[in-house]
Amino acid sequence: MRKLMMTTASLAALLATACSPQAAEDTSVAETHETAMAEDMSATDVMSTNPLLAEWTGPYGGVPNFQTASLDDLREALEAGMAANLAEIDAIVNNPEAPTFENTIVAMERAGDPLGRVFSYWGIWSANMSSPEFRAIQGEMIPALSAYQSQITQNEALFERIRAVYEGEEMATLRPDQQRVVQLTYDGFARNGATLEGEAAERYAAINQRLAELHTTFSNNVLHDEENYVTYLSADQLSGLPEGFVQASAAAAASRGREGEYAITNTRSSMDPFLTFSDERDLRETVWRNYYSRGDNGDEYDNNAIITEILTLRDERVGLLGYDNYASWRLEDRMAGNPQNAMDLMVPVWQAAVGRIEEEVADMQALADARGDGITIAPWDYRYYAEKVRQDRYALDSDEVKQYLQLDNLREAMFYVAGELFGFEFRELPEGEVSVWHPTVRVWEVTARDSGENVGLWYLDPFARQGKRSGAWANSFRSHTTFDGEQNVLATNNSNFIEGAPGEPVLVSWDDAETFFHEFGHALHYLSSNVAYPTLNGGVRDYTEFQSQLLERWLLTDPVIENYLVHVETGEPIPAELVERIRAAANFNQGFSTGEYLASALMDMVYHTTEPSEMSDPDTFERETLAELGMPDEIVMRHRSPHFGHVFSGEGYSAGYYGYMWADVLTSDAAEAFEQAPGGYYDPEVAGRLVDYLFAPRNAIDPAVAYREFRGRDADPAALMRDRGFPVPEGMGDSE
């Protein structure tokens, strides 16, 4: 069954997807358990009657029942689930037999199922359907959940059993994947405080609890600013905006009780197209400032003081483990290995991006001058004038391209690619066959083409709405395992496309289409898993983005172009000459896209390699650091510090945002393998190696080893520079 014995960091990241600003008193698991027991229901009764804890029933190996899920049951379910998991841990610890792989490691893999089911609902309430009621419960329960996790990771007797298996003679007799489970389990404990004793252990647990609260508050502050800074337009302020965007903005305003107006919401999916097309420069500045000031408005939802405390506590915590800084601890088990290797990759690319930004700004300024606009390019102008330059240079109009990018067709294109590469077939389930959390969520059964056997289900939640966090992401309710009988996958993809008028097709931008493919790559990673044990479904952060980034490449392959990119009105395939213009413009604005990303990645690494006592307040430190890096005035970080949720609303990407660039090296190098193959991107031999070594094993194989199995060598970093149209620095790739 699915493993729930997570590291403290991963639990905190899960809890902070969308979070509560409310303060919570310190609450131990024992106290919360006593509270539950003080009521008229025993723990056994709760386990058997609470719908959030109940085993999933129905077709497809059992599915969550969102219709019976109620926030009224959440506290009780969490308390009972934690107590049940701790009882399972006690049973492992108190086993009188000598520690073995089966009675210790496998027993841990088997533990925690009821709580895992609760967290499936929790994840939907926090990310897809957030509400003040949920956030209140979340803020109340986070200290208890953190304390619960510390009770496991700092259980000395449990760690001694794990250590005994790790260091024992049995280890040499285990299969390679079993050895990796032991290794990952041991490392997960050793790197998260299991070796600490006495006051150090107590302080470590206290830091984790406080960080969980801070991550929660940070994330919810951002959500507050996204929900409350909406720009409303009148009909005379729509100049330049595409008709589809206008209609979607009208619907967004109407849903907020502002019928007859047009809402520009404070999310990327609304901000980005507005800044690209609106002719109203003053409004572009307003929308830009709203978006990039999230969490940075000097009010009760301001995140700057929270950032300082988070960084201070993270530094103190890794100091207890003997590390010089947080980034050194974080990268120790990543492909990069250490902060310097990550910086050595990022800095040359950053320098090339800055040079390209200067060229892009010069082109835009020349065009603005030729138009007689009388302006100097500012950050809120970049997207607008870049679009004008794109149209002028490549005769490529983003709105023209959009007419060939229908959301439903893109989904079918993804299914086609999954069929050709992975042998998957997708069949949409009739409405009501399985439970969903919102009426716009749809579900498909995934089967193996060769055998017809069920692989799992794929849930799609495509549209933006109030209470749903911004961006796009993938998740799973259940992962593939075989150690306790074969278990199928329940995978989800979540986006924030703007829902059109009823019956109207949804058109998306080229960037959004790539993101759709990207997130589907994560789902394919879940669905293709062939691992035996739950732990092996995890991943290494600077590697797991690679597979999804690679899948973006199939959007511009011939079968997809010819069969799925058809005009919304005529149904005609996208013209070959327009495709050529898209390809010709593939690296257009590469300075901007690379620069805004790397500014965030570099800041993340600097934050986590600098002594907190040497930093000024985050706003000042951000400005000073970017100035030292040579940040162009015309762009900003993709995620400014006060709303950098990847880094400060949890620890999934902290000191790890560089991972997208690291994965980009793998992506560019792997793409060249397909481009050089006889069958191109659908070459069966290369596709077979892709599935066998890069998708199906998940984390059962060391990522570096897996990539060498696929490519026959390590990845060439020069491939990234070639891919982005940047000059390859002297010496880069020479070792290859």
Q: Using DSSP, state whether 411 is helix, strand or coil.
A: helix
Residue 327 vs residues 130, 311, 312, 334, 687: alpha-carbon distances, Å: 31, 11, 13, 11, 35
Please give the Cα distance from 553 to 670 (Å, whole number).
Answer: 10
Query: Where do we find the tokens 């835009």?
Result: 364
Q: Please name the residues in contact with 184: beta carbons below 8 A apart, sequence gap of 6 or more.
A: 535, 536, 538, 699
Among candidate residues 354, 306, 327, the one with its CA nearest the CA of residue 605: 327
493: which 2 tokens? 């993809």
Please give the Cα distance from 611 to 473 (Å, whole number).
Answer: 32
Please give the Cα distance from 727 to 736 (Å, whole number).
Answer: 17
Residue 322 vs residues 190, 206, 208, 607: alpha-carbon distances, Å: 12, 18, 17, 19
Q: Please name the residues in contact with 545: beta carbons below 8 A apart, sequence gap of 6 or more.
A: 659, 660, 663
330: which 2 tokens? 């974080």
19: which 2 tokens? 């979070």
Query: Where do we find the tokens 């897809």?
Result: 128
Please give the Cα distance from 671 to 691 (Å, whole number).
Answer: 14
Please give the Cα distance from 339 to 658 (Å, whole number).
Answer: 10
Query: Edge-to-edge strand order for the sheet containing 442-448?
Result: 424-428, 442-448, 454-463, 489-497, 473-478
Among candidate residues 12, 23, 73, the one with its CA nearest the CA of residue 48: 73
Query: Where do we find the tokens 């000031």?
Result: 293
711: which 2 tokens? 């490519």
Please give the Cα distance from 568 to 104 (Å, whole number).
Answer: 57
The helix or strand, by DSSP H or E, that contains position 732, with its residue range, turns out to be: none
Residue 19 per-residue DSSP state:
-
Please give the Cα distance from 467 to 131 (Å, whole number).
Answer: 6
Among candidate residues 723, 589, 586, the one with its CA nearest the CA of residue 668: 723
Phi-psi region of 443 (alpha: psi -120 to 50; beta: other; left: phi over 0): beta
3: which 2 tokens? 């493993």
269: which 2 tokens? 């999916």
- Strand-pairing partners, residue 458, are 444, 491
417, amino acid identity:
V
- 176, 119 Cβ separation under 8 angstroms: no
Q: Please name the residues in contact with 236: beta carbons below 8 A apart, sequence gap of 6 or more.
A: none
- Strand-pairing partners, residue 442, are 460
Q: Using DSSP, state whether 209 is helix, strand or coil.
A: helix
> Active-site positions?
519
Nearest 5°: CA angle at 404, between 401 and 408?
A: 135
